[in-house]
Amino acid sequence: MRTDRRGKYLALPLDDGQVLVIHLRMSGQLLFVAEPKSVRKAPHTHVVMGFDDGSELRFVDPRTFGEWYVTEDVRPDGLPVEFDRFGPDPLVDGISAKLLAERLGHKKTAIKVALTDQRVIAGIGSIYADEICHRARVRPDRRCDSLTEAELRAVSRATTSILRAAVARRGSSLKDASYRDLMGELGEYQHDHRVYNRAGEACDRCGAPIERIAIGARTAYCCLGCQA
Ligand SMILES: [Zn+2]
């Protein structure tokens, strides 16, 4: 079965031309089970999709914010038409400094708010926005339109490298362990977090304490010692 992704949405084309769309949201886990008879269903298993070879894809979602739906409105590239609303996906479309400047360089909002707005750029959540800003030495509450060309270049490079590294380490599993990969294993990128969820710890780069700051109703982790 072919699988695709844009931003935080998965797209699985079905034989009849429709596309199954899945979003894990807060606590959703997709688990592939090769031998369903030998693996008990976890509590909160809400969807089970069986394949011709007897294997299963199970969807476990304790908080039930996850989404599964099928659509027949499909673009020529096989993805749902509604994906048009998303900004570029850094790992699929690339995110150059020029593109970043076009997408958010004029905005008056904080850089973290813009980075996590799926219409601006698709696929970045709170953890990775904080890590990107730290890597790029930019405060997450900096107004986008105050960023210099050099800072936009740093943010675009950090976006690509942080997301690539996080995918290579199969994502970030936090203390609640709600995120698991397709095989049910915990991700490992949480061990590489430099600022996220580390308030009070020393910054690896400059030694200043990591802080948790407010950006409107949201929060961000950053180092005020080396992020300007
Ligand atoms: Zn620092």
pLDDT of residue 176 exceeding 90: no
Alpha carbon of 203 to ligand 1 centroid (Å): 5
**Which architecture, in CATH terms, is 4-85?**
Alpha-Beta Barrel (3.20)
What percentage of the chain reaches a pLDDT higher than 90?
Answer: 94
Alpha carbon of 92 to ligand 1 centroid (Å): 30
Q: Would you state the pLDDT for residue 109? A: 97
Domain boundaries, the chain: 4-85, 90-223
Mean pLDDT over 170-194 rounds to 90
Alpha carbon of 167 to ligand 1 centroid (Å): 24
Burial status of residue 28 (CB atoms within 10 A of its CB: 0-12, 13-18, 19 or more): buried
φ/ψ of 145, rounded to 5, equals -75, 0
Q: Which residues pair with 143 in a beta bridge?
A: 110
Alpha carbon of 129 to ligand 1 centroid (Å): 16
Q: Domain 90-223: which topology?
A: Helicase, Ruva Protein; domain 3 (1.10.8)
Q: Would you state the pLDDT for residue 156? A: 98
Lowest mean pLDDT among 92-106, 154-168, 169-183: 169-183
Q: How does pLDDT run across 117-166, given as a tens digit for each residue? A: 999 999 999 999 999 999 999 999 999 999 999 999 999 999 999 999 99
In the chain, DSSP assigns E strands to 4-6, 9-13, 19-23, 29-33, 45-50, 56-60, 67-71, 210-215, 218-223
pLDDT of residue 1 exceeding 80: no
Alpha carbon of 6 to ligand 1 centroid (Å): 32
Q: Would you state the pLDDT for residue 71? A: 98
Alpha carbon of 16 to ligand 1 centroid (Å): 53
Mean pLDDT over 213-219 rounds to 95
Q: Would you state the pLDDT for residue 175? A: 83
Q: Would you state the pLDDT for residue 190? A: 94
Q: Would you state the pLDDT for residue 138? A: 98
Q: Would you state the pLDDT for residue 179? A: 87
Alpha carbon of 105 to ligand 1 centroid (Å): 24
Cβ contact 22:58 at 8 Å = no
Report the mean per-residue pLDDT for the chain.
95
pLDDT class for 84, splitting at 50, 70, 90?
Answer: very high
Q: Would you state the pLDDT for residue 2? A: 85
